Chains A and B, each alone.
Chain A
Amino acid sequence: MNGALDVALRLLVVFVVFLTFPLIVGQTEHKVMAHMQGRLGPMYAGGFHGWAQLIADGVKFAQKEDVVPAGADRRVFQLAPAVALLPYLLVLLAIPIGPGEGAVGQVLDAGVFFVLAVMGVGVLGSLMAGWASANKFSLLGGLRTAAQLLAYELPMLLAAASVAMAAGTVSLPGILHSFHWWWVPWQIVGAVVFFVAGLAELQRPPFDMPVADSEIIFGAYTEYTGLRFALFLLAEYAGIVVLCGLTTVLFLGGWHGPWGADGLGWVWTLLKTALLAFLVIWLRVTYPRLREDQLQKLSWTLLVPLSLAQIALTGIVKVVIS
Chain B
Amino acid sequence: MTAAAATAAVAAAGPHGFLSPTGVEIAFLLVGLVTLGAALVTVTTRQLVHAALWLVVALGGLAVEYLLLTAEFIAWVQVLIYVGSVVVLLLFGLMLTRAPIGRSPDADSGNRWAALAVAVAAAVALVWVVVDAFRTTWIDLDGPAAGSTAVTGASLFRHWVLPFEALSVLLLAALVGAIVLSRKAKADAAPAVPGKEGAR
Q: Which residues of A are in contact with B by a Cβ distance under 8 Å? A: 71-73, 76, 108-110, 113-114, 116-118, 120-121, 123-124, 127-128, 130-132, 134, 139, 142-143, 146-147, 149-150, 153, 157, 169-171, 292-293, 296
Contact = CB atoms under 8 A, between A and B. Distances in A.
Nearest to A154: B85
A143 B89 CA distance: 10
A128 B101 CA distance: 12
B80 to A, nearest CB: 4
B101 A120 contact: no
Contacts of A72: 101
**Which of B77, B84, B96, B200 has the most chain A CB within a 10 Å cutoff?**
B84
Interface string B157-199: 0000000000000000000000000000000000000001001
**Which of A71, A76, A124, A153 has the most chain B CB within a 10 Å cutoff?**
A124
Nearest to B199: A293
Contacts of A73: 47, 49, 101-102
B102 to A, nearest CB: 8
Contact of B95 (A113, A121, A142): A142
B145 interface: yes
Interface of B: 47, 49-50, 53, 56, 72-73, 76-77, 79-80, 83-85, 87-89, 91-92, 94-96, 99, 101-102, 145, 148-149, 196, 199-200
B179 to A, nearest CB: 13
A229 to B, nearest CB: 20
Contacts of A132: 49, 101
A63 to B, nearest CB: 29
Contacts of B200: 147, 293, 296
A157 B77 CA distance: 12
B88 A110 contact: no
A150 B88 contact: yes
Per DSSP, chain A at the interface is: helix
Contact of B84 (A76, A121, A147): A121
A127 B91 contact: yes
Contacts of B79: 117-118, 120-121
Contact of B73 (A113, A134, A292): A113
B149 A109 contact: yes
A143 to B, nearest CB: 5
Given A110-B149, A146-B92, A150-B85, A296 B53 contact: no
Contact of A134 (B53, B80, B101, B148): B101
Contacts of B92: 127, 143, 146-147, 150
B99 A153 contact: no
A131 B49 contact: yes
B84 A153 contact: yes
A194 B84 CA distance: 17
Given A73-B101, A109-B148, A131 B91 contact: yes
Contact of A120 (B47, B84, B145): B84
Nearest to A123: B88
Nearest to A72: B101
Given A109-B149, A132-B101, 7 more contacts: A76-B49, A109-B148, A113-B80, A120-B84, A149-B88, A292-B196, A293-B196
Contacts of A127: 88, 91-92, 95
A113 B77 contact: yes
B76 A117 contact: yes
B153 to A, nearest CB: 9
11 contacts: A109-B148, A113-B73, A123-B84, A124-B91, A131-B49, A131-B95, A132-B49, A143-B92, A146-B88, A146-B92, A146-B95
Contacts of B196: 292-293
B77 A146 contact: no
A197 to B, nearest CB: 14
A131 B149 contact: no
B96 A120 contact: no
A123 B56 CA distance: 13
A127 to B, nearest CB: 5
Given A113-B77, A131-B95, A153-B84, A76 B53 contact: yes
A45 B49 CA distance: 43
**Which of A114, A117, A149 has the most chain B CB within a 10 Å cutoff?**
A117
